[in-house]
Structure 1
Amino acid sequence: MKCINCHSIDIGKIGPRQYFCWNCCIEMSFAGDKLDVYQVEADGSVSSLNDLFFEEEPLQPQETEIEIYSDGR
């Protein structure tokens, strides 16, 4: 297993389906087919890094309102 961030193989298991990279200090958790990535902060809390590693679902184009002018513009 390699770290998704730094590609190091220095990965430790910290729980069931939870891993920690000792090189860049991120936590990786697997839930089924989904991977969640967290940065471990100095106070021990974690912040999600999913928005940096995984592309969100593409946004569906929304209909735009066309403003109709009565003066012929």
Structure 2
Amino acid sequence: MMNCPNCQSKDIGKIGTNQYYCWNCCIEFTASGNKVSSVFQVEEDGTLHSLNDLFFDDCPPPFETNM
């Protein structure tokens, strides 16, 4: 079971190939296996705003989530 990289909730839904949505904190993220590569905030109009600068330093390797 994957945990949210932001709030650690297990209330995660799959919305596409390697794309997930956290119903607890309303973020979308891209993961392959247990490696998260992108994190986005979903805006009211449905657009995505990158939160990678908050989750990653410069160009780090993807971090792991608890599965």
- Alignment TM class, shorter chain as reference: 0.7 to 0.9
Unmatched segments (≥5 aa) in structure 1 = 58-73
- Give, in whole Å, the separation in 2 of the partners of 1:5 and 1:42: 19
Which residue matches 2:54?
Answer: 52
- Give, in whole Å, the separation in 2 of the partners of 1:34 and 1:11: 13
Which residue matches 2:23?
Answer: 22
CA RMSD in angstroms, aligned pairs only: 1.8
Go from structure 1 to structure 2 and tell me whether the alpha carbon gap of 1:29 and 1:41 turns closer, same or farther (over 3 Å shift): same
The residue type paired with residue 36 of structure 1 is S
The residue type paired with residue 18 of structure 1 is Q
Identity of aligned residues (%): 60
Go from structure 1 to structure 2 and tell me whether the alpha carbon gap of 1:9 and 1:31 turns closer, same or farther (over 3 Å shift): closer
Alignment equivalent of 2:41, drawn from 39, 42, 49: 39
Go from structure 1 to structure 2 and tell me whether the alpha carbon gap of 1:34 and 1:23 turns closer, same or farther (over 3 Å shift): closer
Rg comparison, structure with higher value? 1
Unmatched segments (≥5 aa) in structure 2 = 60-67
- Give, in whole Å, the separation in 1 of the partners of 2:11 and 2:47: 21
Q: How many residues align?
A: 57
